[in-house]
Amino acid sequence: MPPQTSTITETSTILHVETLTKTLPVTKTFSTIFTKTVQATITKTATETLTVTKPTTTTKTATVTVTTQMGYGVRILKDRDYYYSLKSDLEKAEKEILVAMYLMVYDPGDSFDWANDLIRELVKAEERGVNVEVILEYRTYRGCMDENLEAYHYLKEHGVDVRLDRDKDTDHMKLVVIDGEIVYVGSHNWTEAALYYNHETSIRIVSSQAAKTFKAYFKTI
């Protein structure tokens, strides 16, 4: 908002002191003329009008969701917030889901496991015609990550395009891109511990440009 200009009239009394010198003749008996100096003080009052321009300050308070000047909608997801938000977006996905996950643990024997829920949402999306691609880490400098094999086989058996990253570079990312518009990135692995018990932080970005950038990176893995 541009600065607002208001006019304030203030009246103040300003004293101007002027010193005047007058010369008066004084006649003495000797007929000699002397001069005498007399000082007079004159007081004047003046009125001034002042114009003051004051900017208007607006304070905005943002909560969890912040929209930046670039048009990015960013939401901070703490701890269990990630699961609720991501599960909802997976259920509503229409075209494409890309997942690159360092650790994805599927435990079919656990009836209360949030990681199972997210993994099954990928299968449901595949069954309704959504293109689903998943990359799981397998070979790292510490050895093979057999923890990911159960999820790998489950997704493979249900027609999901899933592969194990077998090169020597460790893919430690936790990335999800949905419908070329929504991005999840942060610290949450798809494990019961990360989704339910741990302190974790991730962000949800709504931006086609950000999704395009992350998708391009996903394709290089």
Sorting pLDDT into bands at 50, 70 and 90, what band is 21?
very low
Mean pLDDT, residues 45-73: 47
3-state secondary structure 49-69: CEEEEECCCCCCCCCCEEECC
Class of domain 65-218: alpha beta
Q: What is the pLDDT of residue 166?
A: 76
Q: What is the pLDDT of residue 30?
A: 36
Q: What is the pLDDT of residue 170?
A: 85
Reported as a single tens digit per residue, the pLDDT across 181-218 is: 999 999 999 999 999 999 999 999 999 999 999 999 99
Reported as a single tens digit per residue, the pLDDT across 159-168 is: 999 999 977 7
Q: What is the pLDDT of residue 82?
A: 99
139 burial (CB, 10 Å; 0-12 / 13-18 / 19+) is middle
**For the chain, what is the mean pLDDT?**
78
pTM: 0.68
Separation between Cα atoms, residue 44 and residue 14, nearest integer Å: 8
Residue 29 has pLDDT above 60, yes or no: no
Task: Show me where the domains of the chain are located.
Answer: 65-218
Reported as a single tens digit per residue, the pLDDT across 106-115 is: 999 998 999 9
Query: Between 47 and 84, whose confidence is greater?
Result: 84
Reported as a single tens digit per residue, the pLDDT across 120-143 is: 999 999 999 999 999 999 876 566
Reported as a single tens digit per residue, the pLDDT across 87-102 is: 999 999 999 999 999 9
- Residue 212 sits at the vertex; the CA angle it makes with 200 and 181, to the nearest 5 degrees, is 65
